Amino acid sequence: MIRRPPRSTQSRSSAASDVYKRQILYAATSLEKKLEEVILLYFFGILKEPNPKRDFFANEVLKASDLTFSYKKELVHKILNESKIINGKGKDSLQKGLKEIMKWRNAFAHGTLQHDNISGCFIRYYSSGNKVLKLSDDFWESVESTFKECHEILGSAIKKLSEG
């Protein structure tokens, strides 16, 4: 669960700001691992005995920096279309959620956390132009619900792929 930063967070260098930045990045990384698990299960099934080809694929392909979060997201979408294990609404929610998570992850990874007495906490980042993301209670509620929904949908896909 992602905790909201206190309204007193003063700057991007404050300890509290760093904690919330790490929470977003950790949550995005945990979802990326679930994406990788879906990919591995689809192509190799459940690991019943040592499988050097699976290990090679997991370590050399899935962990390669060239295989981005964005590409893993698209590959899982294709897998879900092909396997038909998640319905249309679930697939659409997952795609939309992962797109938002990717945006938040990039904003927190590369942006600057700031605070002022009028606007409160916000992050400035660049994504096809300068952007500002207000870190309001509504934002944190959206973050929490989006991560939870994506986690549940990917968990369901993993379960169904594991069952064969």
Return the domain boundaries, the chain.
15-163
H helices within the chain, ranges in order? 15-44, 52-56, 69-83, 88-110, 137-163
List of residues 6+ apart from 149 with CB closer than 8 A: 93, 94, 97
pLDDT of residue 3: 55
Per residue of the chain (164 residues), give pLDDT as tens: 565 555 444 444 456 667 878 889 999 999 999 999 999 999 999 988 999 999 999 999 999 989 999 999 999 999 999 999 998 899 999 999 999 999 999 999 999 988 888 878 899 999 999 999 999 889 999 999 999 999 999 999 999 999 97
